[in-house]
Structure formats: structure tokens, C-alpha cells
Chain A
Amino acid sequence: MKRFNFETSVGVFMVIGFICFAWLSIKLGDIDLFGRESRTVVARFVSISGLKPGAAVEIAGVQVGKVTGVRLDSEYFEAEVQMEIENGVELQEDSIAAIRTAGIIGDRYIKITPGGSDVLIEPGGEIIETESAINLEELVSKYIFDKD
């Protein structure tokens, strides 16, 4: 009976430990264990200041995907952002991708505003219309210089 007890408690401990691990890695670590179908879409920005892989992609405030990669296009000196969008969500050709900040010092994320076109973006395609990150310093200085 005693032996049964301590083996049970080891079992319970291991199970709880692994459940916690699973929750951490699936929910927080973005490990797609069940492989929700998604596709890659690209967008180019003049500046992404501070957007990082893993950042959320939202439509109307709902997360529909995440940023998977950021690289510099050395020909045009633009930032090329790869993101994964869930397959159920369709993007029109004239959708607009904008980089926004949650709060004043919060995380950067990409906000997509749907367009009205009938033509949809193919998997691997590009969102043409983009808005770069709003740079606070630039905004402030613009405000000051405009006054002159």
C-alpha cells in the first residue's frame, strides 16, 4: 500500500509537470502541435522599427496570424516581413498592412485592414499597400516644424 502511494504521487507529479510543459509550449511558445493550416504572405515596409518575429497579425483586433521573419531588401532598402495567416482568413488584393503599437511603449503588431477588391492574395503573395511604423520622434518634430 505504501509503495503504491509513492508511485502514484510520482505519476501525478510527472503528469502535472508535463501538462504544464504542454501548456507553456503550445499556448505561449507558439508550437503548432495540431498544425492549424496557414499560409505565408509577404509585405514591404519603409520602416518596421521594432517589429519582431512572433509579433501578432490582427484584423479588426482579432489575431489571425503572426510574423515569422524580418529581413532587409538590400536593393530598395525596405523591410520585408513574412507572416503566416490562418487559412480560413482571406485577404483582398487591396488590403492594407500597418504596423501599430499596443499602448505607448507596448509591443508592435501588424494590423491588416481588409479591402474591397474581388481579387484575393494567393499564398506566398504580397500585400502591396502598407503603412510603416509611426515614429513618435518624427511625429513630434514634424509638428514643431509645421508650426514655423
Chain B
Amino acid sequence: MTFATPFKKLGDQSLFFFEAVGRAGIFLLVCLISMLKPPYKLHPIIRQLYFIGSRSGFVILFTGLFTGMVLGLQGYYPLAKFGSEGLLGSAVALSLIRELGPVLTALMVIGRAGSAICAGIGIMRNSEQIDALECMAIDPIKYLLAPKFVASILSLPLLTFIFDIIGIIGGFLVGVALFGVNQGTYFQGMYSSVQWIDIEMGIVKSLVFGLLIVWIASAKGYFLHLERSGGFGAEGVSRTTTDAVVISSVSVLIWDYLITALMI
């Protein structure tokens, strides 16, 4: 223990951090390039769409429905105080389309698919399956990761649209069926207040989230062996998966703020 020890430790850790960030950045570029480069194979992409998209359908249905219903409940009381129940439709639709749809969909997909992608690739790295692909002259990024990237970037906007619509129906159920807001007012308010720019913001957000989720999950899994805490064994995989879920959830919220600030 000398005077310099804490500095050395700090330097060590920041070097390691920047190395990991740089590696992940290069990894993202390589993945995007190999995603866009032919040959394209449809079948692996469909498999991944099934896993990331279709299988998330039920979760999205439930979370979307209840989010919309809560928005209906929460929105009704303050609006009714000012006699503006007519705004309920636009309040529900705007908060879903601009904000809650993309973010909650992303968080659900992180929990369902992001963790699975990270753990799956981490196990393949651990058991030398990725090395085996390399040795068969099969590019693991093109073969394993490119379909996941395509599927995730495609699935997220679609899931978000489904979430939005189900949420609007949920708000309708509470507002119109429960509190007796006029059905026409609910939808007319929505039609007139929601702009294309709002939908555009939702699309941009969900595309960015789709990329973020698959990027962080696969980078974490792919570089499992380079983890500082030693990414080996079942414990290594589980720790790295937890990391991936936490990091991608936080990044989704950070990017949500950035995109909102840029596009508002």
C-alpha cells in the first residue's frame, strides 16, 4: 500500500471501462455492417422474429391494456375537476404514443428477450461454441447476431404499435365504459390532438430502443470472457445477464430523455 495505490486502481478501472466501451462501439459497427451485407438468409430472421416479436405478444397485450386502463383512471379525475373529460382520449393517446408505449415495450422486451439473448450467447462463448463457429470459417457475428439485430430492430416498433392500440382500448374501457365519457369525444379528441410528429417520435424511439437492447445484450454475452470479474461458469453468465438487463434498462430511459429533448 503506497500513496499511489488508489490512483493506480482508479486508472486501472477507468482504462478497463473505456476499453469495454470502445470494444462495444466497434462491435456495434461490425454487427451493423454484417447485418447489411449479403447474403441475407430469411429463415434465421424469422426464427428470431418469432422469439423476440411473436412470443412477446401476450406480455405486450397485458401490460398495454393495464397501462391504458391506469391512464384512463389517473387521467379522468383531474380532468373531470376542470370539466374537460373530453381531453381524456388525447391525454391517453399522447402519453402512450409519445412516451409509455416505446419505453414500456422496450422494458418488457429487455426482460423477455434481452436477457435470453445475453445468456444464450454467453453460454455459447463459455462452451467454445463461438470459437467452434470461427474455426469452421463461419462468421459468428453474421451467423448468430445479425438475425437478432434485424429481428429486434423490426420487432420493437411493431410491438410498440400494438401496445399503443391496446392501451388506447384500455383507456376507452375505463373512460367510456366505466366513467361514461362520450365515446365520440374520446376518439375525436384523440384524432384532433395526435399529430404525425407524435407517431414519428414513437417510431424513432422504438427503433433506437430495439437497437440498444440487442446491442447491449449481445455485446455483453459475446465478450463474456473479457468481463473483469471473470465471466466463467454459470455464475459468470448469470452475473453478466443481470448486468445486461440493468444497463439496457437504464440506457433506454436515458435515450428516451435525449430523443424527447431533441424532437420536442
Q: Determine direct contact between A and B, CB below 8 Å.
A: yes
Interface of A with B (CB < 8 Å)?
6-7, 9-10, 12-14, 16-18, 20-21, 23-25, 27-31, 53-56, 63, 66, 102-107, 109
Whether A28 lies near B97 (C-beta < 8 A) is: yes
How would residues 118 to 149 of chain B score, 1 for a CB under 8 Å from any chain A CB and 0 otherwise? 00000000000000000000000000000000
Whether B199 lies near A29 (C-beta < 8 A) is: yes
Which single member of A14, A24, A103, A107 contacts B199 (CB below 8 Å)? A24
Which single member of A10, A17, A27, A109 contacts B50 (CB below 8 Å)? A10
Whether B195 lies near A54 (C-beta < 8 A) is: yes
With A13-B57, A14-B158, A25-B196 as contacts: A103 and B82 at CB distance below 8 Å: yes
Whether A103 lies near B86 (C-beta < 8 A) is: yes
Bound CA–CA A12/B49 (angstroms): 11
State whether the Cβ of B84 lies closer than 8 Å to any Cβ in chain A.
Answer: yes
Whether B164 lies near A9 (C-beta < 8 A) is: no
A-B pair count, CB < 8 Å, reads 99
Bound CA–CA A9/B90 (angstroms): 32
With a CB–CB cut-off of 8 A, which chain B residues contact A104? 82-84
Whether A54 lies near B49 (C-beta < 8 A) is: no
With A9-B50, A102-B86 as contacts: A27 and B191 at CB distance below 8 Å: yes
Which single member of B57, B83, B93 contacts A103 (CB below 8 Å)? B83
State whether the Cβ of B87 lies closer than 8 Å to any Cβ in chain A.
Answer: yes
How would residues 81 to 120 of chain B score, 1 for a CB under 8 Å from any chain A CB and 0 otherwise? 0111011001001000100000000000000000000000
Bound CA–CA A55/B199 (angstroms): 16
Whether A109 lies near B192 (C-beta < 8 A) is: yes
Whether A30 lies near B196 (C-beta < 8 A) is: yes
Which single member of A6, A24, A102 contacts B164 (CB below 8 Å)? A24
Bound CA–CA A23/B191 (angstroms): 11
Whether B86 lies near A10 (C-beta < 8 A) is: no
Whether A29 lies near B196 (C-beta < 8 A) is: yes
Interface of B with A (CB < 8 Å)?
46-47, 49-50, 53-54, 57, 82-84, 86-87, 90, 93, 97, 157-159, 161-162, 164-165, 188-196, 198-199
Whether A16 lies near B162 (C-beta < 8 A) is: yes
Bound CA–CA A64/B83 (angstroms): 26
Whether A106 lies near B86 (C-beta < 8 A) is: yes
Output the least CB separation between B236 and chain A (Å): 31
Bound CA–CA A20/B96 (angstroms): 13
Whether B158 lies near A103 (C-beta < 8 A) is: no
With a CB–CB cut-off of 8 A, which chain B residues contact A105? 82, 84, 87
Closest to B90 in A: A107
CB-based closest 3 A-B pairs: A17-B158, A20-B161, A29-B196
Bound CA–CA A119/B161 (angstroms): 46
Output the least CB separation between B85 and chain A (Å): 8
Which single member of B158, B159, B196 contacts A31 (CB below 8 Å)? B196
With a CB–CB cut-off of 8 A, which chain B residues contact A107? 87, 90, 189, 192-193
Bound CA–CA A53/B195 (angstroms): 9
Bound CA–CA A9/B53 (angstroms): 9
With A17-B159, A23-B165 as contacts: A10 and B49 at CB distance below 8 Å: yes
With A7-B46, A13-B57, A27-B191 as contacts: A21 and B161 at CB distance below 8 Å: yes
Output the least CB separation between B58 and chain A (Å): 11
Output the least CB separation between B198 and chain A (Å): 8
Bound CA–CA A55/B90 (angstroms): 13
Output the least CB separation between B208 and chain A (Å): 17
Bound CA–CA A18/B203 (angstroms): 12
Whether B194 lies near A29 (C-beta < 8 A) is: yes
Closest to A23 in B: B165
Whether A14 lies near B84 (C-beta < 8 A) is: no
With a CB–CB cut-off of 8 A, which chain A residues contact B162? 16-17, 20
